[in-house]
Amino acid sequence: MHELEIEGFAFDAGRWPLDQDLPTVVFIHGSGGSRVLWHAQVEALAYETNTLALDLPGHGASDGEGMRRVEDYAAAVDGFVSSLGAPRPVPCGLSLGGAIVLRLLLDHPGKYGAGIIVNSGAKLRVAPFIFEAIEKDYQGYLAAAPSFSISEKTDPSRIQPLSEAMASCPPAVALGDFQACDAFDVMERLGEVEVPVLVLTASDDKMTPPKYGAFLAEYIRGAKLVNIEDAGHLSPMERPDEVSLAIVEFVKSL
């Protein structure tokens, strides 16, 4: 895996330079997170396709400041994709990242030929306790996060790299991410998505329950729905092989 930086964006690439004959899966992390969420997929899929996982602005090793609107994050990701000249880009995002994928598909219908939405929804209302916890006791929020973000069947050590990355995220940035999620709502626009979409849910996801993904799959024409068993909100790290397999099968079908 290659660790790279271009125009202020820190990112990982499964192969570099990009193969112009292959599609490019662009992995996007969730609120307060970093690209480490997708390390397993960046490596596993590199044998089949180009893979990139970036830190959003203000996160991880990327420059810039965090944002408070999904539209702004989507514009930043689109700029990143354009700066690389990534061939046949397929955005793949979790939670906030999934909302960004939906905005990319809606805002740039001719550019992104497919999308992958993981543990996300068309509307992402955030529980009030999350805002309160981040504002009053960020360290306490971080300590409690595994209790609502992974399955009881998952060993917490599996998400340790992400937990460490989240600890380095400024509280104001994490708060802005959740504000962006809370304001996000494209429920009335799902019928406008006209490209192939893979929707991944997780059986034990408490933050975006499987019904959120089922709604997406019902109202996005032709969407494929796959549920990852015995996984919570951070399924790419909890069940990396199952998530990677679902994604690679989808990309190979395009």
pTM confidence score: 0.97
Distance CA 30, CA 66 (A): 12
Mean pLDDT of the chain: 97
Mean pLDDT on 136-158: 93
Q: DSSP letter string over 136-196?
A: H-HHHHHHHHHHHHS-TTS-GGGGHHHHHHHHTS-HHHHHHHHHHHHH-B-GGGGGG--S-
Asked if pLDDT for residue 254 goes beyond 90, the answer is yes
Percent of the residues in the chain that have a pLDDT greater than 90, as a whole number: 98
Q: How many domains, the chain? A: 1
Domain that holds residue 237: 2-253
For residue 34, what pLDDT band results from cuts at 50, 70 and 90?
A: very high
pLDDT digits (tens, 9 = 90+) for 112-138: 999 999 999 999 999 999 999 999 999
pLDDT score, position 109: 87
Crossing angle for the helix pair 171-183 and 96-107, nearest 10 degrees? 50
Instruction: Please name which of 58, 50, 37 lies closest in space to residue 2, comparing C-alpha atoms.
Output: 50
pLDDT digits (tens, 9 = 90+) for 175-234: 999 999 999 999 999 999 999 999 999 999 999 999 999 999 999 999 999 999 999 999
Domain of residue 200, CATH code: 3.40.50.1820
pLDDT score, position 239: 98
Two structure tokens written together for 44: 């596993």
